[in-house]
Amino acid sequence: MSKRLEGRIALIMGAGSSQEDNGVSNGQAVALTFAREGATIVAVDLSLAAAEKTASLVREQGGTSIAIAADVSRAEDVKQVVEQATGHYRRIDILHNNVGIEYLGGPVDTPESEWDRVHAVNLKSVFLACKHVIPHMEAQGGGSIINVSSTASLRASTETFLSYSSSKAAVNHVTRVIAAQYAGKQIRCNAVVPGMMATPHVRTLYRHLDDDQFKEVMARRDASCPMGRQGSPWDVANASLFLASDEASYVTGLLLTVDGGRSI
Ligand SMILES: NC(=O)c1ccc[n+]([C@@H]2O[C@H](COP(=O)([O-])OP(=O)(O)OC[C@H]3O[C@@H](n4cnc5c(N)ncnc54)[C@H](O)[C@@H]3O)[C@@H](O)[C@H]2O)c1
């Protein structure tokens, strides 16, 4: 049986993990899943070590990957990433915008600088990546863009992180507007909207807690999900694989919620 992404070039922004050696992140799971289905992975991360770790995980499993360090909230970095990727491989078939950071706080306790930083990393990065990748997709006759959002974009979440919620809500609408503009060019643009996921990053979010307190938080997170458990990075990866593949060739502008029914 042929692989679902055979011969495709996938550019994954935020392909590393913010908590190495603590399980697989969303970006790593996406990279490994896309590679297993035949894609070549361009792993981009703020941290070169994190990008290289993902690239080496892919290679260990028999895949092909290069690593590039870049701050995807910076126009010059994104331009250079796209130039390097297309310099190596001549095309970009899949753009996966996985970068996301948060600042805990509402309108009163969020400093203006943090509001701006969260929007630059979560939202402007999507704009910049699309700005530089879409011309290549247009020239090659199509492509698939997948933006990673969050159910915090749809409803008030347990944790208050207004800037995160706002930036992800904007990512949803940017996804749909780009989908509408580029459907005629065969460029599909969709979002994966994860709910509560048990990723290594959750430990970063609760870094102020000791290990026992953190275990309690994770148990509470599991219990708050209708299925009695949080999702995993592989759930995000499998949804992304569907959106990247030809099985989704008539799917664009979709906000694909992956939350085990929690936001219903
Ligand atoms: N973990 C969850 O529960 C959850 C839920 C909903 C949505 N998400 C979303 O999933 C995505 C990934 O989450 P994760 O849990 O794997 O997080 P993670 O922090 O482990 O991975 C994100 C990666 O992005 C990189 N990064 C951060 N800023 C960057 C920048 N400016 N330029 C380049 N790279 C940068 C980090 O170094 C890290 O390796 C995010 O968009 C997040 O908002 C996560």
Q: Where are the domains of the chain?
A: 9-256
For residue 14 and ligand 1, the question of a CB distance below 6 A is answered with: yes
Separation CA 44–CA 54 (nearest Å): 9
- One digit per residue, the tens of pLDDT, for the chain of length 264 reads 789 999 999 999 999 998 877 789 999 999 999 999 999 999 999 999 999 999 999 999 999 999 999 999 999 999 999 999 999 999 999 999 999 999 999 999 999 999 999 999 999 999 999 999 999 999 999 999 999 999 999 999 878 999 999 999 999 999 999 999 999 999 999 999 999 999 999 998 888 999 999 999 999 999 999 999 999 999 999 999 999 999 999 999 999 999 999 999
Annotate 204-216 with DSSP letters as a single string: HHTTTS-HHHHHH
As a whole number of angstroms, the distance between CA 10 and CA 210 comes to 38
Helices (H), 104-161: 112-119, 125-140
- Confidence at residue 48, expressed as pLDDT on a 0 to 100 scale: 97
Q: List the alpha helices (DSSP H) in the chain.
A: 26-36, 48-60, 75-89, 112-119, 125-140, 162-182, 201-205, 211-223, 233-244
CA distance 229 to 160: 21
Q: Which atom of ligand 1 is nearest to the CA of 71?
A: 32
Cα torsion for 165, 103, 133, 186, to the nearest 10°? -20
- pLDDT for 123 equals 98
State the catalytic residue, choosing from 89, 103, 164, 182: 164
**How confident is the model at residue 216, as a pLDDT?**
96
By residue count, the chain amounts to: 264
45 lines ligand 1 (CB under 6 A): yes
Give the burial class of 184: count Cβ atoms within 10 A of its Cβ; 0-12 exposed, 13-18 middle, 19 or more buried. Answer: exposed
Task: Tell me yes or no: is domain 9-256 CATH 3.40.50.720.
Answer: yes
65 vs 7: CA distance, rounded Å: 13
Concerning whether 182 is annotated as a catalytic residue, the answer is no
Predicted local confidence at residue 181, as pLDDT: 98
Ligand 1 close to Cβ of residue 258 (< 6 A): no
Q: What is the pLDDT of residue 233?
A: 97
